[in-house]
Structures are given as C-alpha cells and as structure tokens.
Structure 1
Amino acid sequence: MPGKPFKLLPAINSSTAKTPLQEAQLKLFYLMLGANVLKGAIYLFDAISNHQGDGSGRAIRLMVTSTITIFILRRFPKIIYWGIHYAVVGTILHVYYRVFNQSVGADVVAMQAIFMVIISAFYGLGKKWGAVYTVIAFASVILVHYIPQRFTGLHALPQQLNDVYIAINCLVILMSHVYFHAVLYGNLRESELLNEKLAELAETKTNFLSTMSHELRTPLNSVIGIAGLLISDSANARQKEQLDVLKFSAEGLLTLINDILDINKLDSGKFELENAPFDLEHLLNGIVQGMMFKVEEKKLHLELTIDDAIKGKRYLGDSARLSQVIYNLIGNAVKFTENGEVNVQAKVLNSDHDSSTIRFEIKDSGIGISEAQQLLIFEPFKQAAVSTNRKFGGTGLGLSIVKQLVERFGSHIKLISKPGEGSVFYFDLVLHEDLSKLPDEAVAVNRSSEFDLANLRVLLAEDNMMNIFFMKQLFKRWNITADIAENGEEVLALLESKDYDVILMDMHMPVLDGMEAAKRIRQHTNPLKASTYIIALTASVSDQIQTRIKTHGMNDYLPKPFQLEDLRDRLQGLMQGEQ
C-alpha cells in the first residue's frame, strides 16, 4: 500500500483519478477524511482532559473509520461515488445528532457541516442527489423546533478547541472551492483552447480542400474538355465508345470530388441555395440522357415520365443542386439494380397560380434495403452493409448529400423498400413558376442563333499547359485567335499594348494571381482598358469565391471543369451586346 499510514492528503496519480473532476473529488474526500482524524483527535483530547474519558469512544471511532476509508479509497478509487454517499450520509447524521443535542444545538459547527453536505453532494453526486441531501440536511434546523426528542452525551468543546474545530472546517470548505474552481475554470480554458484549435483546424481543412479542389479540377477540366472535342470530331465508332468511357469516368471522378466538397460545406453551415429560372423538363431529360451510358452498359431499362403540367414551364430554384439530388438518386438506383428497370417520375401533386408541389420519384427493381439498413444509409460515409462497398463501390456520401440538400429545399427524402423487391425514393418540392420568362418562340430563336466569334478579341490567362492546349483547340473550333498570358504580370503587359473584348482569367497563377491582376486592371488610367470584360475561370470552390470575384471587379464566373456551351453562351452574349 503506497504512502504512510497517516498521510492525510495522498498524491493523486493517473491510476487513481481518470479525470480532473474525479481528481478534485478524491482530493476533497481525502481532505474531509483527514480533517475528521484531526477533529476526532480534538474530541479525544477534550474527553480525556475535561470529561474523564467520556466520549473518547466516539472520537476513536471517527478517527479509525476515517483512516480506514482513506486506505480503501486509495486501493479502490473507483468506489468514490459510493464513498461520497457514505460520507454525506454520515455528515447528515452528525448534523442531526449535533442539532438535537441538548448541550450543543444548531451552532456554527452544525451549519458548517450542512454546508459541507451541500458541497460534497452537488460536486460529487450531481444536482439530483445534491438537492435531496441538501433538503434533508437543512430540515434539521427546522425540525428541531417541532420535535422534542434530544440526545445527550455530546459535550460542548472549550472555546479554544471549538475555534480550532471551526478553523478546520473552514479550511475544508475553502479547499473544496479551490479544487472545484480549478476544475471548472480549467475546463473552460481547455474548452476555449479546443475551440480555437478546432477553428484553426476547420480553416486549415477549408484551405486544404480549396487547394485540392483546384489541383484536381484543373486537370479534369482539360480531360473532360478534350474528350468532348474528340467525341464531336471522331467518326470512328470504336474510338467514340472509348472516348465516351473516358469522359464518363472523368465526370464520375468530378462528381466524387464535388460530393466531398459539398459534405464539407454542408457541415460547416456555409451552404446556400441559388434562386434562378430553369427548365425542369430540360433538366430531367439532360440527367437521364447523361445516365444512359451506364444504363446501357448494365442492359437496364430507364424510363422518364414527366407530368404534362410541367412541360413548357420554367421554375425558380437551384437547378444545379436539384440536378445533383436526382442524379445521385438515379445513379444509386442504377448501381444497385442488376436486372430490370429504373423509373423516374415528376408529378404535380397540386398547384395554384404561381407555384406547384411536385413529387420526384425514383423507383428501381434492385436489391432493396432492410429496415435496419435504412437507418444507416443517409449517414455520411456509411453504406447499408460492409459488403456493399466491396461489391458496388462508392463512398457512402451520395445519399447523405441527397438528404441534406432535400432538407435545404424545405422537404424530406422518403424511402419505401424491402430486400429483394427494389426501392422507391421520393420527395416533394414546392417550386414557384418563373412568370417573367420570355415567350417560347423568342427563347428558341435566341438558343438557335449563333454569332460568329472570329472577331472577338480574347486574352486567356492560364498557367496550366494542358488547359492552354485544350483552350487553343477550342478557340480554333470557334475561329477565335486568342493571346495567351501565363501569369498576371503578362496580362497587364499585353493589355498595355492591345485592347481586348474579354479576358478569361484563371485565379491561381504564379507571379501575380488573377484576383490581383483584375484589381489592377480596374485601376487602369485608360477607361476603355479599365472596363475590359473579365470572366473568372477557377477550379476553387471556396465559399467566398463569388464574393471575392465581385470585390476585385470581375464581371462573371465559370467553375472548372466548365461546359463548353456555357463558355460559348457567355462569349456570344458579349458579341450580341456589342451588336
């Protein structure tokens, strides 16, 4: 047994205290028990000196039981909870014995004992037992006025010994507050430091993800773009099939990257939905068409049913996020269906003059999901079973993102499924119709007309050689002769000698980045050069990217990888504006 028999405050080590609170509880308990030994010694001295030994038995019992309890706690520190109960009950009995004693009563020592009951019970046992024991202890000073029964045999201590007794109790009360004050404010300080570290970690993670996004999406931009160009050029059916596989795989990788980044955005609370007009029928047809390669590969049947009330209408909302939800659900259905079909349906449940409640439903004849597995599949990084990843692949992010995005839309994703009988995922969205849209004829004319871009003066700011190669091939197809700058300093130098209609500005470049280059362009002394139209091209997905683009004076923004049609639409818009 470590330590000396009468060491009143034994050292607390990692084997006896697992937490700062438990350490403080043990210290307090040792202090109170050590104080009991001293107080027992005082009573024993008083009994022998002033009362011919009367009361010495109680004093010895107090000293012996306190010493034994210290040894037991040092050997078995985990019983501290029950030890505190024992100590509190013993102190309460002492309070009642003292208060109801005809020679003592509710004196200062009794009140100190009640206070120690409160401290020990609340700090050591929690608020429930703290409240119970406090009421029981305080009840003594009230009940003494209504219960005539009195104890005898406890002699009041002489004034000097009584002062020592009170001083010992004061020391116990003072040290108990010191212990628990240190625990409280120590935990608060640790919490503050932890929050600071977590904030730093979150910022580091965000910066890392932004950097990784740029490093991964930049090469994907050239891979997807060049694959698209080759597909449109290739007359060889076999080469076209191989290029389709390449483009599909690259887009699948892009989807995975986007899923990881979206989980980070959703978890950080920095995710916001856009509200722009879109053609729902066109969106659904595009998603289904994009999935046909995988569907045909597995020899499945994919059917899309769109309510006639939806056709020809444009709605307001975040089409990109809605597309992501539906794409994930269809992709999930195709992945887990080996034979049979996948049905996609958009049906109007009810509508008024400017809004409709539309149910989106994806039904498959796949493997199905048990009730137990249904509790897991919407959690991030989890799949229905361990074997699921080995057989079907995936990260377990898709349905988690679907759930969170649908909730951001103000709805809930629902699931009906049984093992071996397929699954049905559905959700209802209230979408407002875009009443300010142009007539269909005007839209059709605008879409079909293509402006000659040959006279458009373009400056491309890009430092990635593969992207430069891809953009040159794209410009060649559009009859554009563009100048190339590999950093911001070169952009400024070329702008001094030439005028441009548009600058396609990459954000991350050496020497001088796109943000700072755009800022300096806007400060140019020549108003014509200072007002040059700037389109930001960036693979960064930082939450502040659009705000920073506007702050630095850029006119528009295209995320990499971008659709070729999106860039052409913007360039055509410039030509149309000039004409």
Structure 2
Amino acid sequence: PMNGVLGMTEMLLATALTEAQRNYTTLVKRSGEHLLVIINDILDFSKIEAGKLAIEYINFNLWDLLDDIHNVYTPQAAGKGIGFDFDIANDIPVAICGDPNRLRQIMANLLGNAIKFTEQGRILARVRVAGEDTQSVMLRFEVHDTGIGISREARTRLFEAFSQADDSTTRRYGGTGLGLAISKQLVELMGGAIGVDNAPKQGSIFWFTVSFDKRRVDPDAPGHRQSGLEGLRVLVIDEQEKSREDLAQQLQAWRAGADSAASAAAGYERLLSAARAGRPYDAAVLDMELTHTSGLALAASIKADAGARATHLVLVSPERLAADPVQRRAAGVAYQLVKPARAADLYACLAACAARLYGAAAPAPAFVPAPAVGRRRDEGRGRGGG
C-alpha cells in the first residue's frame, strides 16, 4: 500500500500544481518514504527475531555495487554541504559471491546515519581486505564522519533494538532505533562483526567485517582463465606520473601485466617494439591529453602500423574532449571512458578485450558519455539506528 501511495504522489508531482500544492505533495511523499523505511525496519527485525531472514549467496560485481552506493549518497551529502569520498583498496576483488542487497542495506544504514548526524566536514567510506584464503575473502568496511560523536556509555547500547544515544536524538533526528540493530544481526548472519570507535579528532568510525566467497569458475569451461584479466598485457600511456602509478597498481591487482610510458612518443615506440618482437600488447590505455598530440591522434598512428594494430585501444578523456563514435571508430579506438573513469568500467573494457583474445565470457561495456564516479585511494554520533 505504501508503494502505491508513493507512486501516486510521484504522478501527482508530474502534473501542473500550484506552489502550495507542490509543497504539500512533496511533504506527503517525504513522510511516506520515511514511514516506508520504518515499516521495512520493523518487518526485517521481526524476521530476524523469528529466525526467518535468509542470507542469499549470489555472484555479483562488488565495484559496481560500491559505485551505485557512491552515486546515491553523494547528492545527499552535497545537499548538506559536506564532502563524501570512497577509498577502496586496489586489492579489493571485483567478483564475489554473497548477498549484495543486505550489504547495500548495511552500508545504507551507516552512511545514512553519518550524513544525518554530520553538520560540517566530510564523510569517508573505506573498504579493505581484512583476510583471505583460497575460498573466501573477509572485507572490512568503515564509515568515518566528523559528526557529533558518541559517548562511551552510549556506545555500549548503540546496537540494541529501539536504542538511540538519548531522547533528544529521537526528537531532533527521528528514526526507529532499529537500523543499527538490524545491521548488527545482518553482519553476524554474514559471518562478520560490527562496532564503532571514536575518530581521533572529531566524530565516529563505524566499521563492520563481512565474509564473501570468491566467485567460482568452472576450470573446464571454454576460454577459462584464473582471473578475468590474468596474463593480459596492458600498456598505460599517460604523462601524469600519479595517474600511471594508480592505473598500474589497479591492473596488477587484477593480475594483468602492466607497463607504462610517460609520453606519446615513448608509448608508440614501445608498442611497435613489442609487436616487432612478436609479443604485442593486448591492450593500451591512452590518455586523451598528451603534449604535442592527442590520445585520439596517437590511436590513429598505432592503428596505421600493421604490427601494432592488433592491440585493443582504450581512450580515457575528460568529458569536454570526448570523441564521438565516428571519430573513435576512424581512429581504431575500441572503448572510451570519461574521466574520472570508474574502475568497474575500465575492468569491463579490458575484460571485453580479453574475451576477444581468449574467447572467455565478459561483460560488454558501453560508451560512457557522462562523467563517471571518482574514487579516493590510499588516504589515510549520538546515534540511532536510522
């Protein structure tokens, strides 16, 4: 019923309304959304208490999920004038097996709280590998904020049902006090733990660990390779040293072979030398903004060489310099990404290159016409549950 109410308010907002009518309808919609969250919290908690909530085990792309979360909460943080960054370690696996919806729910509770209780400063979400073996990987997720902080006494009851730091929290911020209790139960069902620490200067650090199975691949399947990019030889051509290093680290984390060149001339010569030696690069990632030339012009030169033209080319450019499909095809560019490129999109492009070379199944990436989500790397609440 609530979804029906919200759907009708959406339709009503799409009609011609007076300013007062639009304000009233918007208030109804927001109140309905808040009520739906409360209803879902109570239903989830009831299922958990009755032992009826099951954790799913399905294959999913973790990087895509994290990018989706970043896209959802960046506007919310910006609306309050606070920063929001994601810091994802390079060795985080792309493909894992677990429950993506419950992981999303836990992150939503922690990030929603962080935004709710932070009036100024920034929020940082971190993901790290806490441990792994041949079958599984334990990931640690952290949400750092510069909010109001939590007293030692309040922390002891924070993950209890219907608990908030104090009565004023409920009056000021609302919520059922169930979000963190549900998150705790979900984390434990997924083989992990959850907690909160005070940040060194201000605010809090909520963290949790969750165990995931590594995605299994049939070793007898046609075109099977141990990793989607394992053994793929990639050359990065970029004049910015930091960009070259970041890309090389990411490629190595994906088990691809990564070399780099600091100029168009050096990159071109390296590609030709590899081709003449009978070991051409499988793919090359070209920066659009190069001195004395462009990534697009460099791509055309590479494709004009009989030995090097077998190398698949990925062009990375700012939106204002993005080449149209006709230009890309003419220059021999296989895929184009817009800066700052999502790791998931780069992986998809290179996996498609690997699929062409080795016949393995891979996602088919699309041209990315709009700015992709950036991600910070290697950086260093009188709360209720939602």
Q: TM-score, normalised by structure 2?
A: 0.51
The one-character-per-residue Cα deviations of 1:528-554 (angstroms, maximum 9, x if unpaired) are xxxxxxxxxxxxxxxxxxxxxxxxxxx
1:367/1:419 contact within 8 Å kept? no
Question: In structure 2, what is the Cα distance between the partners aligned to 1:353 and 1:419?
Answer: 35
1:329/1:425 contact within 8 Å kept? yes
TM-superposed deviation, 1:408 = 0.9
Answer yes or no: is 1:342 the counterpart of 2:126.
no
The one-character-per-residue Cα deviations of 1:245-294 (angstroms, maximum 9, x if unpaired) are 99777655433321121011111111110111111111112112111232
Aligned equivalent of 1:415: 196
Change (3 A) 1:340 1:435: same
TM-superposed deviation, 1:417 = 2.0
SS in 1 for 2:119: coil
Counterpart amino acid of residue 55 in structure 2: L
TM-superposed deviation, 1:307 = 1.5
1:305/1:346 contact within 8 Å kept? yes
Question: In structure 1, what is the Cα distance between the partners aligned to 2:149 and 2:49?
Answer: 29
Q: What percentage of aligned pairs have identical amino acids?
A: 37
Question: In structure 1, what is the Cα distance between the partners aligned to 2:2 and 2:58?
Answer: 28
- Alignment of structure 1 residues 148-159 onto 2, 5 Å: none
Higher share of residues assigned strand: 2
- Bigger relative contact order (CA 8 A; separation at least 6): 2
Question: In structure 1, what is the Cα distance between the partners aligned to 2:28 and 2:150?
Answer: 32
1:223/1:250 contact within 8 Å kept? no
Change (3 A) 1:246 1:320: farther
1:370/1:418 contact within 8 Å kept? no
Aligned equivalent of 1:261: 43
Aligned equivalent of 1:327: 108
TM-superposed deviation, 1:418 = 6.9
2:199/2:205 contact within 8 Å kept? no
Aligned equivalent of 1:281: 63
Question: In structure 2, what is the Cα distance between the partners aligned to 1:291 and 1:250?
Answer: 20
TM-superposed deviation, 1:420 = 7.9
TM-superposed deviation, 1:314 = 1.2
2:164/2:177 contact within 8 Å kept? yes
SS in 1 for 2:364: helix
Change (3 A) 1:252 1:288: farther
Q: Mean Cα displacement is larger for which, 281-290 or 249-258?
A: 249-258
Counterpart amino acid of residue 363 in structure 2: A
Aligned equivalent of 1:397: 178
TM-superposed deviation, 1:358 = 1.0
Aligned equivalent of 2:214: 433
TM-superposed deviation, 1:334 = 1.1
1:355/1:430 contact within 8 Å kept? yes
Aligned equivalent of 2:2: 216
1:295/1:301 contact within 8 Å kept? yes
SS in 2 for 1:445: coil
The one-character-per-residue Cα deviations of 1:389-408 (angstroms, maximum 9, x if unpaired) are 11222111111111111111
Change (3 A) 1:338 1:446: closer
Alignment partner for residue 373 of structure 1, among 154, 172, 184? 154
Change (3 A) 1:278 1:378: same
Aligned equivalent of 2:364: 445
Question: In structure 2, what is the Cα distance between the partners aligned to 1:445 and 1:420?
Answer: 45
- Alignment of structure 1 residues 111-260 onto 2, 5 Å: 215-221=1-7, 223=9, 226=11, 251-260=33-42
Question: In structure 2, what is the Cα distance between the partners aligned to 1:277 and 1:389?
Answer: 38
2:144/2:199 contact within 8 Å kept? no
Q: Mean Cα displacement is larger for which, 390-399 or 427-436?
A: 427-436
Question: In structure 2, what is the Cα distance between the partners aligned to 1:353 and 1:269?
Answer: 30
TM-superposed deviation, 1:244 = 10
Question: In structure 1, what is the Cα distance between the partners aligned to 2:120 and 2:203?
Answer: 11
SS in 1 for 2:106: helix
2:139/2:209 contact within 8 Å kept? yes
TM-superposed deviation, 1:376 = 2.0
Question: In structure 2, what is the Cα distance between the partners aligned to 1:285 and 1:363?
Answer: 18
TM-superposed deviation, 1:355 = 2.2
Question: In structure 1, what is the Cα distance between the partners aligned to 2:79 and 2:140?
Answer: 29
TM-superposed deviation, 1:338 = 1.0
TM-superposed deviation, 1:431 = 1.3
Change (3 A) 1:414 1:443: same
Alignment partner for residue 52 of structure 2, among 270, 274, 281? 270
SS in 2 for 1:444: coil
TM-superposed deviation, 1:333 = 1.0
Q: Which has the larger radius of gyration?
A: 1
- Alignment of structure 1 residues 64-143 onto 2, 5 Å: none
Structure 2 stretches lacking a partner, 5+ long: 15-23, 219-223, 229-350, 353-360, 368-386
Q: CA RMSD in A?
A: 3.5
Question: In structure 1, what is the Cα distance between the partners aligned to 2:88 and 2:48?
Answer: 30
Question: In structure 1, what is the Cα distance between the partners aligned to 2:186 and 2:195?
Answer: 13
Counterpart amino acid of residue 157 in structure 2: L
Change (3 A) 1:446 1:435: farther
1:368/1:419 contact within 8 Å kept? no
Q: TM-score, normalised by structure 1?
A: 0.35
Aligned equivalent of 2:145: 364
2:125/2:144 contact within 8 Å kept? yes
Counterpart amino acid of residue 5 in structure 2: P
Counterpart amino acid of residue 428 in structure 1: T
Change (3 A) 1:418 1:346: closer
2:193/2:210 contact within 8 Å kept? no
Answer yes or no: is 1:406 the counterpart of 2:162.
no
SS in 2 for 1:414: strand
Question: In structure 2, what is the Cα distance between the partners aligned to 1:277 and 1:246?
Answer: 38
1:369/1:418 contact within 8 Å kept? no
1:411/1:429 contact within 8 Å kept? yes
Higher share of residues assigned helix: 1
Structure 1 stretches lacking a partner, 5+ long: 1-214, 231-241, 449-579
Give the count of matched residue pairs: 224
2:86/2:126 contact within 8 Å kept? yes
1:377/1:383 contact within 8 Å kept? yes
1:369/1:419 contact within 8 Å kept? no
2:150/2:165 contact within 8 Å kept? yes
- Alignment of structure 1 residues 545-564 onto 2, 5 Å: none
Change (3 A) 1:360 1:378: same
SS in 1 for 2:363: helix
1:342/1:364 contact within 8 Å kept? yes
2:6/2:29 contact within 8 Å kept? no
